[in-house]
Structure 1
């Protein structure tokens, strides 16, 4: 029995070899990780069946409870049995692949054992089929969250499967029950122990290696999240030369691959790393591999230099993953990960590449969405600006026309002011922000025209910090507040109408305040001003609402529109916006 035990230990080494192949060879590992797929199940069944058949061939021949020296067992004589690791291979296949794989391997291995010889060996077909199916069922029951059973659980399953096989051997092997009992008493202990031990070792190798890979993936996930955060600001600009160059450098830093390349649909935008001497930005896409991915929109992986298709004979790149980048399901370019050593391109890199392709496509799409959103906001802002009191022009022209008969010099001055006002309106329609100096010139022109219509009715004074005139404000921001005050603050009062405009800086914010000594605003209207149209005797409040909307669109929560009644009399309008210099403004266009 001890001799049999030692010989069987040698055969168990075959199963350990199988475990090593499954977890260390990329092709087999890929099958193992996708074992729920039908195609992978078939491949696992074939792999385990080969090892089970090898177990039959390399078994230990036993006759009359004695070990018979032999080599490869191809044909067996009657009254000859073999001790082998077939049941171990079948049981492990069920634990790993489930009932289908275990049953297939059991059927194939049992049929082969029957073909090997002896008319008493027919029972190996149903027994092996049962072992495969039962081990698959038990393995599936003990599997949690896609993980394999523990090595200890697998060892108990392995021992139980060998006990089932021993029962069949005892009942159906040889010419009578006593002969079966004698055979089982000779082989049962070493085969049960070694089957259990082999299953334990197999699952230990499998689970330990996969756990290490999961830990590596966790670290990689952390790096990918950092990578995504680092590339987002650049991809939000869109896929262009500047963003691509920055992104390629960042990706290469995090992934440690030999080279990173980014293209649009026609040319190389950036190439960082090995091969940068001839994979030059601004050249047309040069590799056939990239052209094929751009044409078909499918990820492509190659492990040989000639498959990359680079025309440079000295190109150091040996392997590559080319990932298509999509925006709204339309291919806009590619991300290419190159390797100077083909062995570095593993299953982990493949999964990483697929994930990065999805992330970067989303980031580019997000960037385009933001650009479109910005364009829509600017269109809305300019639409609101176009609504600013167009009938004022007609009143001004009528006033100038009447003055031309009485005071031609003043009419000429007002005509120049109207020209200034027109020019300011045209610039305001083109820009979303203008210098405060320009806005104040616009207000001055407006007041000149209004005071020509209503001489000495209003007094408007200004208190402006001269250091602020080069900062930007929304067009008509001051004018609308002044115009609103002149129109609505004083009612029918003909004199003692004062408005004071103050513009100053406070905590890196630009404050525009317009205060009057008018009649004030009823409380029921006060809370709605700037938020919606408010109907009054002389207007609808649309201009204030438009101004508030433009400020929100431009500055978000950094902008404030406030209106309140003064304690003694009148109203105070206050605008608060970020302090932005004209030459640093990104929206002044």
Structure 2
């Protein structure tokens, strides 16, 4: 028995090397990380079926208690058996792919083992199929834990090897089990441990990379926000380029508008002069196409200067309302430095910067909306909400990178809708609901399970036109004030329905209510207190009156079990033309 151990370790080493190579494959990492379809399951079936066959070929031949080590076994004598790592591969295939894949791998490896011959051929084939199906069932229900801890794979692999030994024992091969049982159980477990450890380490490294990438993007976004709020100008772009040069691996950063280079910081400042004309044709192509372009050689950059040290670049469009208004450029002195991480980071930053540019433009469009009050409202909401959201996403980067990325997209959508609403007097009710849902997804990430949201919305009302920013502030007030004292059990009900030709929207909470003195003033004028100024409610009331005159109602009712705010606006008539002339 003891002589079998070093030989088995050699066989385990072959499979571990294969696992390391497999874990480097992007296609395999994607299969393990994401939901699997038929194509992905067939891929796992093929890979581990091949591993199972290799394990049979590289097994150790056993005759009675004698062990014969051969490099490659293509046939087994009728009185011989083999010790190998077949079960380990079948188990891992089942864990990763589920019952059908596990059973399929078991059938492939087991049938091949049967064809090799030997007096245990049939018993080994049967045990292979059983092990595959069982491992697949366990993998299906515990996959999330198995792919984060190798000990599950070890346990299952060893149990399946024990099962094979029991089948061999029951088939009358007691002496064989006494010889190979313990080494095969232990070393198949060891192999499964090393195999899964390699896969898990690769996946965790990728997660850490994504977390770092997201964290870096949020830090850069936080630092550049004050500068981009000033728009695309020489001073703001230079400061943004300096921040990016410090926080990325790029050797030079440049920012342009549609006509010229506004800032260039880092290598090649001697001829990439800002402000000045474009030094590369690559920039002109990005401005024209509106898509990301990458250069991996000096020739691809198309710099007019013959001694330019820049060897690689990624140039990204900065967009405003769907049009390209400038570019963000990351330059590298070596093509090897422009890797996947740097490219993805640059893409994320370009999207964030585009949002920030829209924020800047929105701040300069006050004349379109009677926007003095809307600006005051946004001045209250944006910094507070933005930095809370950034802190939440930054914290999630350490524990749940995919959720952090999803919330980052929600944050982008929130501000996009905020800015789109600021350019219109009336918007579809559905757009306002999307704005609310984006806000709530970010808030509930900060305080999970603290409160529940119920939407009771008539389907026919989604296209009804309403003023922007009349629903989200009400929901925010309920979250920040009415439910602030609750640790859990909070509830917000958002309703919209028609009654006698009018649209009725209400937001109701089960918070602590509002005092009668404060309630009387809310909506009529800003109410100063330690909890806020009441500007949001006053702003809504004033805008409703400005658009609909006396045909709109704004009511606030406070009860022992909460507060209900109701907005009533007419649905009949075409108010859009009247409203636009009102503000012109």
Q: Which TM-score band (shorter chain)?
A: 0.5 to 0.7
Distance in 2, Cα, partners of 1:170 & 1:204: 32
Q: Give 1:37 shift.
A: 4.6
Q: Give 1:373 shift.
A: 3.4
| Structure 1 counterpart of 2:221, from 224, 228, 251 | 228
Give yes or no for the alignment of 1:286 onto 2:280: yes
1:84 alignment counterpart = 84
CA 1:318–1:72: 2 relative to 1, 3 Å: farther
Q: SS of the residue aligned with 1:237? A: coil
Q: In the alignment, is the contact (CA less than 8 A) between 2:96 and 2:143 conserved in 1? A: no
Correspondence list, 1:124-143, <5 A: 127-143=127-143
Q: In the alignment, is the contact (CA less than 8 A) between 1:263 and 1:285 conserved in 2? A: no
| Structure 1 counterpart of 2:243, from 237, 250, 270 | 250
Distance in 1, Cα, partners of 2:233 & 2:87: 60
Distance in 2, Cα, partners of 1:336 & 1:94: 46
CA 1:218–1:27: 2 relative to 1, 3 Å: closer
2:569 alignment counterpart = none
Distance in 2, Cα, partners of 1:245 & 1:102: 57
Q: Give 1:5 shift.
A: 1.2
Q: In the alignment, is the contact (CA less than 8 A) between 1:91 and 1:132 conserved in 2? A: yes
CA 1:185–1:225: 2 relative to 1, 3 Å: same
CA 1:365–1:200: 2 relative to 1, 3 Å: same
- Measured against aligned partners, the alpha-carbon deviations of 1:169-222 in whole angstroms (never above 9, x if no partner) come to 556xxxxx32x4433332221111111122223334444565566556555544
Q: Give 1:135 shift.
A: 2.3
Q: Please identify the structure whose Cα radius of gyration is greater.
A: 1
RMSD value, Cα: 4.4
Give yes or no for the alignment of 1:4 onto 2:8: no
Q: Give 1:156 shift.
A: 0.8
Correspondence list, 1:199-214, <5 A: 199-207=192-200, 210-211=203-204, 214=207
Q: SS of the residue aligned with 2:231? A: coil
Q: SS of the residue aligned with 1:2? A: coil
1:369 alignment counterpart = 362
Distance in 1, Cα, partners of 2:283 & 2:97: 36
2:289 alignment counterpart = 295
Distance in 2, Cα, partners of 1:114 & 1:326: 63
2:175 alignment counterpart = 182
Moved more, 4-13 or 355-364: 355-364
TM-score calculated relative to the size of structure 2:
0.53
Q: In the alignment, is the contact (CA less than 8 A) between 2:110 and 2:124 conserved in 1? A: yes
Q: Give 1:56 shift.
A: 3.0
Q: SS of the residue aligned with 1:257? A: coil
1:148 alignment counterpart = 147
Q: In the alignment, is the contact (CA less than 8 A) between 2:320 and 2:354 conserved in 1? A: yes
Moved more, 87-96 or 229-238: 87-96
Distance in 1, Cα, partners of 2:106 & 2:50: 11
CA 1:69–1:17: 2 relative to 1, 3 Å: closer
CA 1:94–1:312: 2 relative to 1, 3 Å: farther
Q: Give 1:27 shift.
A: 3.3
CA 1:268–1:201: 2 relative to 1, 3 Å: same
1:387 alignment counterpart = none
Q: Give 1:310 shift.
A: 5.8
CA 1:132–1:265: 2 relative to 1, 3 Å: farther
Moved more, 300-309 or 226-235: 300-309
1:60 alignment counterpart = 60
Q: SS of the residue aligned with 1:260? A: strand
CA 1:148–1:294: 2 relative to 1, 3 Å: farther
CA 1:284–1:347: 2 relative to 1, 3 Å: closer
Q: In the alignment, is the contact (CA less than 8 A) between 1:26 and 1:346 conserved in 2? A: no
Structure 1 residue runs without a partner (length 5+): 172-176, 382-526, 532-548, 550-589
Structure 2 residue runs without a partner (length 5+): 375-520, 526-541, 543-584
Q: In the alignment, is the contact (CA less than 8 A) between 2:63 and 2:81 conserved in 1? A: yes
Q: Give 1:33 shift.
A: 6.2
Q: SS of the residue aligned with 2:73? A: coil
Tell me the matched-pair count.
Answer: 380
Q: SS of the residue aligned with 1:62? A: strand
Distance in 2, Cα, partners of 1:147 & 1:316: 48
Q: SS of the residue aligned with 1:368? A: helix
Distance in 2, Cα, partners of 1:218 & 1:256: 16
Q: Give 1:168 shift.
A: 5.2
Q: In the alignment, is the contact (CA less than 8 A) between 1:288 and 1:309 conserved in 2? A: yes
CA 1:321–1:50: 2 relative to 1, 3 Å: farther
CA 1:344–1:158: 2 relative to 1, 3 Å: farther
